[in-house]
């Protein structure tokens, strides 16, 4: 699936950026897969603005954690703590054809996510990350590779990833590199996102 590949930009409200401006920068740089993450709760008005912009650009917008908000976007990404009480039938009934991503750090979690009907796996943390305090210990390229080799689902590596990490992440079998702070905290987010996109394209070539 074409939309589940490449640089996966995470717009994190906790990073304090202007999310509308940040989204405009990543879309202009060629990013076509975006997640809206807001641990304080998804702002529906913000979500509507982001979704209008991604739709106009032919990009995909995923919402973090919030199944109801995901109905206003193109899919949802759930952590392990969000899965309690759900089975594949209940998740698919609510999401319809929208995308479902599930965070995993072990092969067992990846296999369980596949049983739940996940469309892709968010695997990590690749490096230690300050963006998500509950992410757990870094699993590195070896951890990404273990899971990528154990599943047919596309893997999005996540956690403290920057430009220098793309080659080992790609070599480990990841189809996507999910990136938050390296873009949001860059002096020129559009340039940084563009550098990431071009690097990934070179790796794929």
> Would you please indicate which residues are annotated as catalytic (active-site) residues?
37, 103, 132
Token pair listed for 160: 């403290």
Paired sense of beta strands 120-123 and 155-158, if any: parallel
Place of tokens 């870094």: 138
User: Is 163:195 a contact under the CB 8 Å cutoff?
Assistant: yes
* Pairwise CA distance, residues 68 & 78, whole Å: 12
185-to-27, 156, 189 alpha-carbon distances in Å: 16, 21, 7
* Pairwise CA distance, residues 32 & 171, whole Å: 21
DSSP secondary structure letters along 87-127:
-HHHHHHHHTTSEEEEEESSHHHHHHHHHTT-SEEEE--SS
């Amino acid at each position: 699936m074409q939309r589940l590949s490449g640089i996966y930009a995470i717009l994190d409200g906790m990073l304090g950026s202007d999310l509308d401006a940040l989204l405009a920068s990543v879309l202009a740089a060629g990013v076509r897969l975006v997640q809206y993450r807001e641990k304080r709760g998804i702002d529906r008005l913000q979500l509507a603005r982001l979704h209008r912009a991604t739709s106009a650009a032919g990009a995909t917008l995923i919402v973090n954690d919030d199944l109801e908000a995901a109905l206003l976007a193109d899919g949802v990404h759930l952590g392990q703590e969000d899965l309690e009480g759900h089975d594949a039938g209940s998740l698919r009934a609510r999401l319809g054809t929208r995308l479902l991503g599930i965070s995993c750090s072990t092969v067992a979690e990846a296999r369980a996510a596949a049983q739940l009907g996940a469309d892709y796996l968010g695997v990590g943390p690749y490096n230690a990350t300050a963006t998500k305090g509950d992410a757990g210990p870094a699993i590195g390229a070896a951890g990404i590779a273990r899971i990528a080799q154990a599943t047919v689902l596309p893997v999005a590596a996540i956690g403290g990833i920057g430009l220098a990490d793309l080659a080992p992440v790609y070599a480990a079998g990841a189809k996507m590199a999910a990136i938050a702070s390296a873009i949001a905290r860059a002096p020129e987010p559009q340039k940084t996102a563009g550098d990431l996109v071009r690097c990934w394209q070179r790796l794929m070539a």
